[in-house]
Amino acid sequence: MGRLEGVRIYISPCGLGLGHVSRCLPIAEELRRRGAEVLFSTYQEGLEYIKKCGFPVVSAPYMRMEVLDGRIDLKMSSVKGGLKAPPSFLNQVRVELEHMRRFKPEIVISDTRLSSIFAARLLGLPSALILNQFQPIVPRSRRNFNLSKIADGVLLTLIGDGWTLSDMILIPDFPEPYTISLDLLRIPKRHRGLARFVGPILPKRPEECEEAVEIQGVEDGEPLILASISGPEEERIPLISKLIPILREFPKGYRILLSMGMPGLDPRPRTYGPLTILPWLPDRFGYLKACDAVISRAGHGTVLQNLCYGKPQVLIPTPGHTEQYANARRAKELGVAEAIHQKDLTRDSLLRMVEKVTGAGVYRERIRAVLSKSPGDGVSNTIKAVEELLARRSVGIIDPPSSTC
């Protein structure tokens, strides 16, 4: 088992949607395989998902974002949450302190959660931060111009400085010039020594899929499009409702699988012309390996998974979600995807993009160029970073936990 035998590791991913917990799970599985004892701390959708995956997990408080018709409403989020944000954050830190004192971890892994980084620092625990967005971007418009100025001047500085309380920042992405989250990683020069690219963290690597899923009714030479819609339900449903009538009208010669990301529904597929609707894909990566192109949101993990499986993408970022806009813009700049605003979705506009990414071999050539620069397996590189932090602590480079832990 090696150096991780019996080591207690506290993993704290953001729980909104499943993106952050999904990239922490393969890390947790490998840590457990090597003999470590793992405890998760998360909330919302992430909490329920971790429970289903069989890992011990404790519940953490969260600060919600207001969502209107699938669009993140920054103004309402600010009005409803702004005054409550500092005490809410302090409550998060308090709860994390309680969980850590009870579990007595030897190291903390945070995925985009500032409260666990603060708690680890207060307890003298080494911490590794998985992060692909150093500073959030608030879109500048007349509607929220004042909010933008405040956020850019005060809030973003506090958040950025908060991340640097960790001992190491692990970026699950490709190194420059192929970084998907490049626009979001404006790390000040004085802090860049903390950061390293570990490569994409995948729940299942392409070579681990024994074979692609066989799709009934798909004829040879017929493009198979996987429309896999992820994210919180309030953001997901408006897009699914818009996509279904559009995809039903796609021409003969296409097969489209639409996954709604709803495991609790009747699992039987429904077919309408070229479109087959599935509530849930039990083996998403088998379908990802089998398809010719992907229609999806533009979350960082989603874009990287599609890319690592060699699939051209049509990206539809969540309205108002600046991280997804940046990811979609960057993927398009790299020539591995096309992108469209949700409000601009029509049968003709989406069909043109699907035809473009499936018909031009240049997309796959660019994908191969990006993959050739990968720093390796993100899970293995993250485990190495954890072992490095533990080794540094053992020789006194990192202060030991306080006696209250």
Query: For the segment 362-388, what is each residue's pLDDT rounded down to a tens digit?
Result: 999 999 999 999 999 999 999 999 999
- Per-residue pLDDT tens for 224-264? 999 999 888 889 999 999 999 999 999 989 999 999 988 77
**183-197, 268-282, 385-399, range with the lowest pLDDT:** 385-399
Mean pLDDT of 290-296: 96
Region 172-197: mean pLDDT is 92
CATH of domain 2-200+374-394: 3.40.50.2000
- One-letter-per-residue 3-state SS of the chain: CHHHCCCEEEEEECCCCCHHHHHHHHHHHHHHHCCCEEEEEECHHHHHHHHHCCCCEEECCCCCCCEECCEECHHHHHHHHCCCHHHHHHHHHHHHHHHHHHHCCCEEEEECCHHHHHHHHHCCCCEEEECCCCCCCCCCCCCCHHHHHHHHHHHHHHHHHHHCCCCEEEECCCCCCCCCCHHHCCCCHHHHHHEEECCCCCCCCHHHCCCCCCCCCCCCCCCEEEEECCCCHHHHHHHHHHHHHHHHCCCCCCEEEEECCCCCCCCCCEEECCEEEECCCCCHHHHHHHCCEEEECCCHHHHHHHHHCCCCEEECCCCCCHHHHHHHHHHHHCCCEEECCHHHCCHHHHHHHHHHHHHCCHHHHHHHHHHCCCCCCHHHHHHHHHHHHHHHHHCCCCCCCCCCC
What topology does CATH give the domain 208-371? Rossmann fold (3.40.50)
Q: What is the pLDDT of residues 74-125, one digit of tens each?
A: 444 444 444 456 788 899 999 999 999 999 999 999 999 999 999 999 999 9
Give me the mean pLDDT over the 33-58 stretch.
96
pTM of the model: 0.86
Note the pLDDT of residue 255: 94
Q: Where, residue-wise, is CATH 3.40.50.2000 in the chain?
A: 2-200+374-394, 208-371
